[in-house]
Amino acid sequence: MSKKSLAATAISAVCLMALTACGGNATGSTAAGQPIVVASVNALSGPVTFSEASQAAKAVFDKFNADGGLNGRPIQYEVLDDKSDPAAATAAARDAVGKGAVALVGSASLLDCEVNSKYYEQEGLVSIQGTGVDPNCFSTPSISPVNSGPYLDSQLTLTYGSEKLGLKKICGLLEIAGSTRPAYQKAFDAWSKATGKTFAMLDDTVPYGAPDFTPYVVKAKEAGCDAIFSNGVEPDASGVLKAAEAQGMKDMTFLFLTSAYSEQFAQAASFVGKGVYVPAEFSPYTVDGIAANDDWRELMEKNNIPLTSFGQGGYLAATHFLETLRTIKGDVTHETVAAAFKAQTRPSENAMTGTPFIFGAGDSHSSNTAGWPITIRPGSTTWESAANDWMTVK
C-alpha cells in the first residue's frame, strides 16, 4: 500500500468524522438580499493541505457582507475539498457549478487546474486562483492565479543564488508530481539563458515525503556543490536541512521556494548551513515594517487564521474579485463575471505583490512575476528580508 493512499485512507476517516468541517457553509451577513454564490476548490485533506487560502477569502467576503455586500446582496462562499484526488476534484468543480457559482475565487489546490481547467472553460466560468501549483494554472484561458507559482519561483530563487549570492555550483534536488517536469525545465532553461549558468548536478528523481534525504544531500556533496536548490514543500525542505546537518554541511547554501516559507519552518530549522533563501511570492509577512500587509494581518488575526503565504493568496484573490464585481452593471451571473474579467485592461494594484494582478483576454495568465528575497541566517530561527525591493525575471 503506498504512503499516499494510506494517508488518504487515514484522512478520509478523519474527514468522515468532521464532515461538516470539510464541507462549506453559507455565511450569515447583514446584507440580506439574494446571495451571489462564489466557490473554491481546495486541498483541505490529503497528503498536502492548504486550508488558509479559502479561510482568508471567506474572511474578506464576511467583511464585505457585513458592510452591506453588493447593493444588499451578500456573497455566499462555498468551500469545497478536492482531497488532492482527481476524482474528488472533478466532483468538487461540478458541485460548484451545481450550486450556481458565478466564479471560483481563492482556490488552493495541487491539481484543481489540471483536472478542471477545461471544464471551467466549457462552462464559461473563471477562476481567480489563490494558490496555483500545477502548470495548467498558468497556461489556460479560464484561470488567473494571484501567486507566481513554483516554476517562476524556481527561476527567481536560482537567479538570486547565482547572481546575487554569487554561488558557483548549484545542485538541484527536484521532486516531480504529475506532469510538472516540463514546466520546471522551462524555468531552468530561462534561468540558464538569462545568466549563462547551469546546474552542476540535477536529480529529478527525489521522492515526495522521503523519510530520509541523506542519500540525496550526499550526492550534492559528492558533486562539490556550494548550494542545494529544492522545490520540496515544508516537510521535505526541512528533511533536506536535517540530512545536511547530520552530514555537517556547514558551507552549503539552500535555495528553496515559497512553499517552505512559514514561521514554523524557521523555528524548526536548527541548522541552515550558510543560509536558507526563498523568493516570497507575496510581501513577506514575517518582516516588520511592511505596510502592505497591515489590512491582511488585521483581518487574519481578527478571524484567528494562521499567518501563511496561502492566506495572503486567498485574501488577494477575494480582494481582486470584489474590485471587478463592483464594476459589473446589471445582472451578476457567471457570464457577466467572466466577461468583466476577460475585458480587464487596467491591472489591479496591490502592494502585497511586486507586479499588479490582471485577468484579461489572453490564452494564459500569470501576472505575478516577482518575488521578495527573504532568508534564515545561520544561528537564526526567524525569516528576515534579504533585499529592499522586489526582484523580477524576464
Partner 1 sequence: MLQGAFAGLAAGGVYAVIAVCLTLMAQLVRVINFSQAAVGMFGAFLAVSFAGMGVPQVPAIALGIVVGALMSAGLGMIIATWLPEASISARSAVTVAALLLLISMSFILFGTKPKTFRAVFSGPAFTFQGVVISQVTVVMVILAVVVSVAAKLVLGKTTIGVKLRAIADRPVAAELLGVPVKPLAIGVWAVTGIIVGIAIAVVAPTQTSDAVSLSMLVISASAAALLGGFKRLDLALIGGLLLGMTQGAAAQFSQLILLRDWIPLVVIVVFLLWNQRREVWDAAR
Interface map 259-278 toward partner 1 (x if CB under 8 A): -----x--xx-xx-------
* Amino acid making up residue 263: E
Name the segment binding partner 1 (CB under 8 A); options: 98-106, 138-146, 234-242, 343-351.
234-242
Of 209, 347, 356, 360, which one interacts with partner 1 (CB under 8 A)? 209
107 binds partner 1 (CB under 8 A): no
**Alpha-helical runs (H) found in 69-177:** 86-98, 112-123, 149-159
Q: Which is nearer to partner 1, 34 or 205 (CB)?
A: 205
Phi/psi zone of residue 75: left (φ > 0), alpha (ψ -120 to 50 degrees), beta?
A: beta
**Sign of CA pseudo-dihedral 137, 152, 371, 235:** positive
Q: Are 215 and 189 in contact (CB under 8 A)?
A: no
30 touches partner 1 by CB under 8 A: no
In the list 234, 263, 323, 384, the residue contacting partner 1 (rule: CB under 8 A) is 234
* Count of residues interacting with partner 1 (CB under 8 A): 42
Q: In one letter, which amino acid is 231?
A: N
Kindly state whether residue 245 participates in binding partner 1, applying the rule CB under 8 A: yes
Q: CB 208: neighbour CB atoms within 10 A?
A: 15
Q: How far is the CB of 261 from partner 1 (least distance, A)?
A: 13
Considering only residues 212, 251, 335, 349, which one is a binding residue for partner 1 as defined by CB under 8 A?
Answer: 212
Determine which residue in the list 99, 219, 342, 377 makes contact with partner 1, applying CB under 8 A.
219
Stretch that binds partner 1, among 9-17, 114-122, 134-142, 335-343 (CB under 8 A): 9-17
- For residues 15 and 190, what is the distance between their CA atoms, to the nearest angstrom? 42
Stretch that binds partner 1, among 99-107, 121-129, 199-207, 274-282 (CB under 8 A): 199-207
Would you list the DSSP string of 134-145?
SGGGGS-TTB--
Q: Which set of grid coordinates corresponds to residue 179?
A: 506532469
Q: Are 281 and 315 in contact (CB under 8 A)?
A: no
Q: Which of 90, 139, 195, 247 binds partner 1 (CB under 8 A)?
A: 247
Report the run of H or E that residue 172 belongs to, with start and end: strand 170-173
Residue 245 burial (10 A CB sphere; 0-12, 13-18, 19+): middle
Does 210 contact partner 1 by CB under 8 A? Answer: yes
Q: How far apart are CA 241 and CA 245, in angstroms?
A: 6
Do the Cβ atoms of 369 and 273 come closer than 8 Å?
no
Q: Which of 33, 182, 224, 248 binds partner 1 (CB under 8 A)?
A: 248
**320 makes contact with partner 1 (CB under 8 A):** no
The contact set with partner 1 (CB under 8 A) reads: 3, 6-7, 9-11, 13-14, 47, 49, 203-205, 207, 209-216, 218-219, 221-222, 234-236, 238-239, 242-243, 245-248, 264, 267-268, 270-271
